[in-house]
Amino acid sequence: MNTLKALIFDVDGTLAETERDGHRPAFNLAFAEHGLPWHWDEARYGDLLDVTGGKERIRHYAGQDAPEMLADPAFPELVKRLHAAKTAHYVRLVAAGRLALRPGVAELIAAARRAGIRLAIATTTSPDNVDALLRATLGDEAPGWFAVIGAGDIVPAKKPAPDIYRWVLARLGLPAADCLAIEDSENGLKSASTAGLRCLVTISEYTRDQDFSEAAAVLDDLAQVSPGEVLALPGAA
């Protein structure tokens, strides 16, 4: 086992419970803004989370509920507009203080910084969403604490593909064996594991029934253990 040199965090569901009360209402506001009769309730949105990526989620939903729209040559442009509107609504919700970090997250980040362990992010959410959440919950300087932020469409294949973690590792200049991923979902765990990372899972409100058998550890939240216990975990086997 190698000494831990970097923590790589997922964002949605891992840093904060953003899905139900952040992204979901932001999608619904974007749909209403564009005159669409679509509304994602909590249960339907939970099902849609099996699809990673906001634009991908819109396309998947249209394929199920509005196939005629999916076949429209203008639909790809509509997806871009919807997603941009959704991001703007989400950023406003976050800036208004609607979302808080999950228990133990701020403490772990602070402990890692004190210990000289590098921080990184690997997420499918957009860079604007990441920046807004970090600033609203940790302060305006927080984005600068992360050596690498891999977000959005920076890689073509999203989780559960390993691409985003491989991209982050390359820019950290570290092997997977020196890093630990922190995720909340089965798709995220698969992404990290395929990239060769050990992964600590903190179960979120939408992922409780998922398969985490490949995880190095599974917790309800990071407050269950001390930051020191997390930082004592090695990287990959």
For the annotated catalytic residues, the residue numbers are 10, 12
Contact 22, 91 (CB under 8 A): no
Considering only CA atoms, which of 111, 119, 121, 106 is closest in space to residue 232?
111
Give CA–CA dist 35/178, Å, rounded.
49
CB 159 within 8 A of CB 191: yes
Q: Are 223 and 204 in contact (CB under 8 A)?
A: no
CA distance 38 to 74: 18
Q: What is the DSSP string of 17-29?
A: -HIIIIIHHHHHH
Largest Cα–Cα separation, the chain: 55
Beta-strand runs (E) in 145-209: 148-150, 179-183, 198-202
